[in-house]
Chains A and B, each alone.
Chain A
Amino acid sequence: MLRPNSKTTLYISNKVFRYAITIFIILTLNFFIPRMMPGDPMTNMLGEGARWMDKAYLDELRAEYGLDRPLHEQYLTYLSSLARFDLGYSINKSLKVKDLLMERIFWTLLLVFPSVIIGGAVALILGSFAGFRQGSMMDRLMTSLLLLLYSSPSFLFAMIMVSIFSFHLGWFPLGNFASGKMHGASYVLDVAWHLFLPIAILSLFEATYTYLVIRNSITQILGEYFIFVARAKGLSNRVIELQHVIRNVLPQFISIMALNFGFMVSGALIIEIVFSLNGMGTLIYDAVISRDYPVMQGAFLVLTFFLIAANFAADLLYGIADPRIADAKDSI
């Protein structure tokens, strides 16, 4: 159990210290890995023309973006800018990286946050249902359907959905976040209408893996001796399922949800492309293609923070869901 005592404080400060080290290592990798890729932003920006470009002009351009200086100097500048929350300018888009990220994160969260929640809830409900009625018609049907979905490429599925519901039936728009020129409530409704299909598809894909884990986890818990003891106590199946089994699934559920939240910022890339949604996924994709170092650094930084925050939250929730883990924390 999470108790506000000195042990918990010690545990949290211990964790924060470890996360700080992790973040520093990731920041460093975020700087070096993009620069280890072949090509550079200038060549990319100028395209074919770079070959005939005056060498002096190219060097001038590189100097303008600070790309001519030795790598370790650039690294130090990068770190000191980060310390001032300055993420720099996008080379390709000529915008402040910070502004670019803010806008994109908003839309990505609007797309992915509901999907993770809905997907998780659907997986928990269907997974429990199938787990408790293992071998039944419903279980076999749902499990094979979700397994099929899990192993099929999401872009294909998304494109089929768009083709059916948007193109042929015309129920939903083909893409984008909004139609434009709308305000107030009608704008909100318009956005919801635009996001319905992508959220539905993302939710389904979020649900597949979680469903399979929950279902198998329930099978395993049903075989535990304490479930036999609960039956020997004359408890009804309902009480056993809802109070004895589901509570034991929660730690595992929390860890998957945390991972899903962590990856959600980048994970929607394919859906963003299919629905022409300009979120984090497409931003990272464009930045990688154009070797836009500052944008890559900034975007990866955001991903890092999301993943670490999700893990931290999961760590705290574990202790509530499973008292054995809370005790292990105390003994650090």
Chain B
Amino acid sequence: MSQGGLLVVRGLSVAFKTQKGTVQAIDGIDLDLNENETLAIVGESGCGKSVLGHAIMRLLDDIAVVRGSVRFREKEVYEMDTTALLNLRGGLISLVPQSPSSSFNPVITIGKQIEELIEKAGKEKGNGARKRALEYLSLAGFSEPELIHKSYPHRLSGGMCERALIAMALSVEPELVIADEPTKGLDALSRKNILGLLHKLAKDASMIMITHDLKAAETCERLAVMYSGEIVEEGPTGIVLNHPRHVYTKGLIDAQPSRGMTPIKGRHNLFSHNAEGCRFKERCDAASNECNNHPMLSKVEDYRKVRCCHA
């Protein structure tokens, strides 16, 4: 894949030092994203997909040990000074945060919270910022943007907060949108609306959608499946979902309600990130002696990579 893409991640690892030992949240992630490309990152809770999103924006706490490189428009994110970093966050890269109802500050109006971002990003000032906030609220499907603008967050439902968050994130016309679990806790209809809205407003931007919802992932062009802090399969979404090569990807697909909800056997635990060999072998029916060697993410077809010695 091209080296000159919008986002180039190489060997990105994040470890958290805890009292029970070091947790390797993500390990040796390589990722490329081109302009106007949409990528879904799927995996079960705890696989490190949110940490990856936060690490790209250099948003992790001080207790996280980060190694590797994240380059955005060929600038190393981990070498940026404060000004450049604040310009990157909520300017070039916008986060659509998860848990919509706790993402807004409860004592500040929705409008003010959107405007402060627009002004910070240097897009508009004063009344111009207000107009832009209202414009994006109505783009997000609010028929009475003024009412939402002057509302405090507790007056909005979860779905409304999610739409307001999308309006906020996109109001600065970012080059990359990182949407963290945008469909979490939504019913089927709201999910469809939210995904439609997200793709509509982000049509001029690239997007990384972090999700455990394969239906949401289907709306993105490319798909990366994560397990225990590593990417285990990556490729064009349609191909990966219709012809999965990794046992874990197959398991995720079969675990969907529409496919009979067959659970993947065993349980994922935080310390399996440190395991020797293939991290999935304990839960894999096809596991053999070969799996005691840590498999590499290797190309199996054009545009397709799998981390499994049996693939």
- A-to-B contact residues, CB < 8 Å: 224-226, 228-236, 239, 243-244, 247-248, 250, 321-324, 327
Contacts and interface: CB of A to CB of B under 8 A. Distances in A.
A248 B106 contact: yes
Contact of B89 (A231, A243, A321, A327): A231
A5 to B, nearest CB: 16
Interface stretch (B91-99, B131-139, B189-197, B232-240): B91-99
Contact of B106 (A229, A236, A322): A322
Contacts of B99: 225
Contacts of A248: 105-107
Interface of B: 57, 59, 82, 85-91, 95, 97, 99, 102-108, 116-117, 120-121, 152, 154-155
> What 7 A-B pairs have minimum CB-CB distances, sorted nearest first?
A234-B89, A234-B90, A233-B90, A323-B152, A232-B95, A234-B86, A225-B102
Contact of B90 (A226, A235, A244, A323): A235
Given A234-B86, A235-B90, A323-B152, A228 B97 contact: yes
Contacts of B103: 225-226, 229
Contact of B108 (A236, A243, A324, A327): A243
B105 A323 contact: no
A321 B107 CA distance: 7
A85 to B, nearest CB: 42
B116 A247 contact: no
A244 B108 CA distance: 8
B38 to A, nearest CB: 20
Contacts of A236: 82, 86
Contacts of B105: 226, 230, 244, 247-248
Contacts of A231: 59, 89
Given A226-B103, A235-B90, A323 B97 contact: no
23 contacts: A224-B102, A225-B99, A226-B104, A226-B105, A228-B59, A229-B95, A229-B97, A230-B105, A231-B59, A232-B97, A234-B86, A235-B116, A235-B117, A236-B86, A239-B120, A243-B108, A244-B105, A247-B108, A250-B107, A323-B107, A323-B154, A324-B106, A327-B155
Nearest to B121: A234
Contact of B88 (A224, A229, A234, A244): A234
A236 B87 CA distance: 10
Contact of A233 (B107, B120, B152, B154): B120
A324 B154 CA distance: 7
B117 A233 contact: yes
A247 B154 CA distance: 16
B78 to A, nearest CB: 16
B132 to A, nearest CB: 15
A327 B152 CA distance: 10
Contacts of A321: 107
